[in-house]
Amino acid sequence: MTKPIAKLLMAASFLALISCSQADKATKSDASPDKVTKTAYNLSEDIKASPTQWLTTGLDYAETRYSQLSTINTDTVKDLSLAWSYDLDTNRGQEATPLFVNGILYTTSAWSKVQAFNPKTGELLWQYDPEVPGEWGIRGCCDAVNRGAAYWDGKIYLATFDGRLIAIDAANGKPVWSKDTIIDRDKYYTITGAPRIVNGNVIIGNGGGEFGVRGYITAYDAKSGAQNWRFYTVPGDPSKPAENKIHETTKDTWTGEYWKVGGGGTVWDSMAFDPELNLLYIGVGNGSPWNPDVRSPEGGDNLFLSSIVALNPDTGEYVWHFQTTPGDQWDFTATQHMILADLEIDGAERKVLMQAPKNGFFYVLDRITGEFISGEKFANVNWATGLDPKTGRPDIVPEAYYNKTGKPFLGAPGPMGAHSWHPMSFNKETGLVYFSAQDLEFPYISDPDIAAGSFEIKEKTVNLGIDLAAISLPDNQAIRTTVRRSLKGRLVAWDPVKQEEVWRVDHGGPWNGGTLSTRGNLVFQGNRNQEFAAYHAQTGEKLWSSDAQTGIVAAPMTFEMDGEQYVAIVAGWGGVLPLLLGELSHTDDGRVPNRSRVLVYKLGGTAQLSAREDFKPEIDPPLQFANAQSIDNGRVTYSRYCSGCHGDTAVAGGPIPDLRATYALHDKDDWEEIVINGALSERGMVSFKDVLTSENVEDIRAYVIDRARKAPKPN
Ligand code: CA
């Protein structure tokens, strides 16, 4: 996959070029000479000089999320308690890591809003709402989440769900400039990731890999917003000149008319930067559609799907890549968090990049060359038997090619991944990487329309080339029981040198939070069981926990102000897993509640969370009005258009309403008013008038009534 020597030479020559262009650019892009320093140019020196702050989403450019602060440690953590909390004005999934800069705590929340707080009191200093249209909600696969902002030189940089990049005055929350980052607003592009600031550029990608988009990442001048470069992750129409030179060759890894269906490869979350090598690393997502029979029917590796790509951050030029899942057809994105570290491996110090992507292998790569060093399974994996020890290429089992076999493949992991976006952390002292690992099987079944030659890209829904209706069969108890039994989730401490698990904490199910490590020898993590906890970094012993009154998926962060250390987390259950899995995402207590809040803790904090109201939708369905055929038609249509948000088999798991409990179920006109006429479009429930008939919509109502009437009666 990579040619180490050639790559090394290439990297070296890039480095030589970069040091010149860097100096040139710094002089040109900054008018005041006293600011033209390396410090002003990127955040490296600032990060080193201020361990009490949290200046970029991953804490540092290596994205370690390992804080030097240690006042809160294994001895004192028992006295950790709430300093303040702030109720956010949304109840959608919260995935952001806050920043702490110059005495202010900044966070983002669902629908791409930004809040600035007095970090000691929780007083809201300002809030900025970019007013993302609710209608844009349907364009995302995975909830209207946002994973955080960036800071540089007095500005907060926010990327919005509807694709804008906005520079905001950090002092008062007023927008300074705004750029549309989307190349085609008819396509379903969204942004949920945090921008990174590298060498005076704001760098941002986007999502949409479930909706037939073409992935790319763009760098904008942090001062002016002017576009500096754009790197497409997959080739475009081969009859036109390649936008990036590398795609003159990558196009040979694709077949058929791939450019017509987008191809995928979105850079929806992770990046890392090595200032010494001057390399920017980006994680690239899955193929679109998932099923390669639609995307690249004669096969091929489909570069750069599911790859880690190293770029020159000043020009966007390609330097090297490593593909984790060649020809990906399982939604095995390589967009998961990447951490840069220097590790001693076989007696030599290696500059490495570590990633635990969805496909279930923990990778250690040489980050100078992209050379594969090692990779091992960290979860239940059945799609590949292992990795080639030289190249890292997976040995994929024939059954995994569900498109070729024509048979369902019960894959482990499934599209939710053995690890998803939830940030990891790396403690240099213990040498361990801490992350949220999970097991979850998924039945991959080819969409029968492909074999029948009638497959079409549909509007207002995902386009995967997968038979979602077959998967959703509520009476297909065999599949459901198997999938339910496969669901596991845990906090894992992983030794990246030995490539083995050192300890684990079982959380009873998947979709637990990101992690924070500290020099206090602690690992912090929130979980699906509505708990925020701290563990001993070497043993995994739980040393402290607190009732968060909500499931937590985001990663915590820490900072120090006036000599006091604080730990902050944005709590609020949501994201793709509960949305899509519905009932399968519930805990023994039922649906996990979302109470979206910023929670900030310190030693001896005296705040209390207000009492929780209970959260159980009342299911009170009308009598069934339709026949069995109508109900079954409704099941198929629901699975295609509704299940992605309202939950598999019409049982909600995330923060979006459970349709079995909606008032509109009782009345044809009320139901049509919403589904056909878009009465709730501002809240994200758009009109489906252009894709569904009145008959379709009544069939869906019949199906949901059927599901409601079969719901277990409350005790
Ligand atoms: Ca995906």
Which of 525, 548, 571 is the endpoint of a domain? 548
- Regions of the chain where pLDDT drops below 50: 1-39
Q: CA 125, 129, 132: angle at the middle one, nearest 5?
A: 165
How far is the C-alpha of 10 from the C-alpha of 187, rounded, in Å? 36
Residue 54 is given by DSSP the state: B
* Token pair listed for 605: 């904090």
| The pLDDT of residue 138 | 87
How far is the C-alpha of 443 from the C-alpha of 636, rounded, in Å? 16
| The pLDDT of residue 20 | 33
Residue 278 inside a domain? The answer is yes
Spacing, Cα 661 to ligand 1 middle (Å)? 29
How far is the C-alpha of 185 from the C-alpha of 206, rounded, in Å? 13
Residues 530 and 642 in one domain: no
Residue 560 inside a domain? The answer is no
| The pLDDT of residue 189 | 97
Positions annotated as catalytic residues are 331
Residues 635 and 684 in one domain: yes
The pocket of ion ligand 1, defined by CB under 5 A, consists of: 209, 286, 331
Residue 624 inside a domain? The answer is yes
CA distances from 554 to 93, 375, 601, 616 (A): 9, 26, 16, 24
The helix/strand/coil state of 568 is strand
* Token pair listed for 270: 């992770």
Spacing, Cα 450 to ligand 1 middle (Å)? 20
Spacing, Cα 304 to ligand 1 middle (Å)? 14
Spacing, Cα 543 to ligand 1 middle (Å)? 36
Kindly give the interhelix angle for 668-675 and 694-709, rounded to the nearest 10 degrees.
Answer: 120
Residue 557 inside a domain? The answer is no
Q: How far is CA 550 from the centre of its chain?
A: 19
Residues 634 and 485 in one domain: no
Which of 516, 531, 548 is the endpoint of a domain? 548
Spacing, Cα 2 to ligand 1 middle (Å)? 25
| The pLDDT of residue 580 | 85
Residue 235 is given by DSSP the state: -
Which of 548, 570, 601 is the endpoint of a domain? 548
| The pLDDT of residue 167 | 98
Using CB atoms within 10 A of its CB, is residue 150 exposed (0-12), middle (13-18) or buried (19+)?
buried
Q: How far is CA 513 from the centre of its chain?
A: 12
Spacing, Cα 31 to ligand 1 middle (Å)? 42
Residue 506 inside a domain? The answer is yes
| The pLDDT of residue 485 | 82
Domain that includes residue 307, residue range: 57-66+139-548
Spacing, Cα 618 to ligand 1 middle (Å)? 33
Beta strand 515-518 with 66-67 is: parallel
Number of domains in the chain: 2
Residue 239 inside a domain? The answer is yes
CATH number at residue 634: 1.10.760.10
| The pLDDT of residue 141 | 86
Spacing, Cα 307 to ligand 1 middle (Å)? 13
Spacing, Cα 120 to ligand 1 middle (Å)? 38
Residue 25 inside a domain? The answer is no
Residues 390 and 493 in one domain: yes
How far is the C-alpha of 414 from the C-alpha of 577, rounded, in Å? 11
Residue 134 inside a domain? The answer is no
Spacing, Cα 96 to ligand 1 middle (Å)? 19
Spacing, Cα 333 to ligand 1 middle (Å)? 6
| The pLDDT of residue 478 | 76
Alpha helices in 458-544 (DSSP H): 468-472, 477-486
Residues 529 and 660 in one domain: no
| The pLDDT of residue 42 | 77
